[in-house]
Amino acid sequence: MVVRKNISLEPNHIKKLESLISKHKGNLSAAIRDAIDVTDASLHRYGSVEEAIAKIASDKKNLNGMEESIESGKNVLLSKPIFLWMLKSTKGIPLENEIFEEVLDPLKITTISELDTKINKISAESGWNCQVSLFCMDDINPATATVTITGDNEFYRDFVAHLVIMFLAINKGLDIEVVHKRATSTRIDLKNRDKGTQPVAAMNYFGYLKDAMREFKSREEFWKNLAEIYSSVNYNMVSLYRGNYEELLASNSLMDAGMFESISKKHIASIPHQDFLKLLKKTEEALLIIDKIEILKNGINIYHNYKNEKAIQNIRDYYISLLKANGHKYEAKYSTSLIVLDHICCNS
């Protein structure tokens, strides 16, 4: 066989050789020799030119949904340490509804089984390594539901739970009834809530820092300075309502209900007594006026660390006056570290 050494190439052939020509700095002969080596290797593997082209074309990787979204720029790829840091740093801060709808579109997910399929697909593609199981009797409008999430990483489980539970709360009228946490699993039981009400339990569970973060961001310098002051003196500080401080400056006895009325949005006499006791415990402990308030069936124990007897008597009288303004009479006994208030009667 006579081998013709003259080569005739069309422009499209030159275009296909561009990378090899560039590699050899314009040397077409060297580029053709490389192409021949590649062809020889392909023929040895696949047997024919046609088979080699078909196989190589079919070997092109098909991108999954998440990979396509990353390639398009809709999603970004984060390393595991960065993602875990974000989850730890934002724990207790709720996601906005727009973010939920971006991940779990309520227009495309109408049944519980569709939600189950979608969240497991997202978890697998995103590398969260969480398995989600949803159980309910009604696939469209469940009265109750159970969500079980398994996985070794607690932060991943909590994040997936956040997505699923808030989807059910917003779109299916459910709310958290009880949460069961184990070493590698989380089970959350949900129940229907009254029409027109908010999913309070779910919002409190996943967004318990929402109000605190909103206040911190509104007055960052104030809260940073306050935290520095409290930390530097090991929390040996007492905060006073401005009205009470003014009474002290005027050397009057303390009994200003303004703080409790501002928080409850009610006159002190209109606050149900058990609600007032809870409010009293919450505020006084937070302000560090005393160490602890223990609410008993028929009384209150107030733990403190005051040493001056006159000061203890004044704090005793302060609480008796507050409780009287709420409509209830108490008798008091005190010691160097404890004030015991016994409920006698009420005015109403």
**Does pLDDT of 252 surpass 90?**
no
Could you tell me if 144 and 182 lie in one domain?
Answer: yes
Q: What is the mean pLDDT of residues 298-312?
A: 92
CA distance 20 to 34: 7
CA distance 241 to 95: 33
Tell me the pTM.
0.69
**Does pLDDT of 250 surpass 70?**
yes
Give per-residue pLDDT as tens, 8-50: 778 888 888 888 888 888 888 888 888 888 888 777 877 787 8
Strand-pairing partners, residue 191, are 144, 175
Dihedral angle over CA of 190, 195, 198, 201, nearest 10: -30
Q: Could you tell me which residue, 45 or 142, shows the higher pLDDT?
A: 142
CB 174 within 8 A of CB 199: yes
CB 311 within 8 A of CB 338: no
Q: Is residue 4 part of a domain?
A: no
pLDDT tier at 153, thresholds 50, 70, 90:
very high
Of 149, 183, 206, which one is at a domain's C-terminal end?
Answer: 206
**Does pLDDT of 60 surpass 60?**
no
Q: What pLDDT is stored for residue 58 in this prediction?
A: 65
Q: Could you tell me which residue, 48 or 202, shows the higher pLDDT?
A: 202
Q: What is the mean pLDDT of residues 323-337?
A: 92
Most confident of 72-76, 254-258, 313-317: 313-317
Encoded tokens for 329: 């009479």
Domain that holds residue 42: 11-58
Q: What is the mean pLDDT of residues 185-210?
A: 95
Q: Residue 91, class by beta-carbon neighbours within 10 Å (0-12 exposed, 13-18 middle, 19+ buried)? A: middle
Could you tell me if 296 and 189 lie in one domain?
Answer: no
Q: Is residue 221 part of a domain?
A: no
Q: What pLDDT is stored for residue 106 in this prediction?
A: 92
Q: What pLDDT is stored for residue 285 in this prediction?
A: 92
Strand order, beta sheet including 185-192: 131-135, 144-150, 185-192, 174-181
Could you tell me if 48 and 97 lie in one domain?
Answer: no
Strand-pairing partners, residue 303, are 292, 338
Could you tell me if 201 and 87 lie in one domain?
Answer: yes
CA distance 141 to 129: 28
- For residue 81, how many other CB atoms are within 10 A of its CB? 8
State the DSSP string of 125-142. Answer: HHT---EEEEE-S-SSS-
Q: Which SS3 state, helix, strand or coil, does residue 334 take?
A: strand
Could you tell me if 172 and 89 lie in one domain?
Answer: yes
Q: Is residue 67 part of a domain?
A: no
Give per-residue pLDDT as tens, 157-185: 999 999 999 999 999 999 999 999 999 99
Could you tell me if 84 and 202 lie in one domain?
Answer: yes
Q: What pLDDT is stored for residue 202 in this prediction?
A: 96
CB 128 within 8 A of CB 121: no
Could you tell me if 29 and 138 lie in one domain?
Answer: no
Could you tell me if 276 and 317 lie in one domain?
Answer: yes
Q: What is the mean pLDDT of residues 87-108?
A: 91
Q: What pLDDT is stored for residue 27 in this prediction?
A: 86
What is the total count of domains within the chain?
A: 3
Encoded tokens for 193: 């809530």
At which residue do the structure tokens 């009667």 appear? 345
Q: Could you tell me which residue, 198 or 76, shows the higher pLDDT?
A: 198
Q: Is residue 215 part of a domain?
A: no
Q: What pLDDT is stored for residue 208 in this prediction?
A: 95
Q: Is residue 223 part of a domain?
A: no
Q: Is residue 219 part of a domain?
A: no
CB 31 within 8 A of CB 17: yes
Could you tell me if 251 and 192 lie in one domain?
Answer: no
Q: What is the mean pLDDT of residues 136-148?
A: 96
Could you tell me if 244 and 195 lie in one domain?
Answer: no
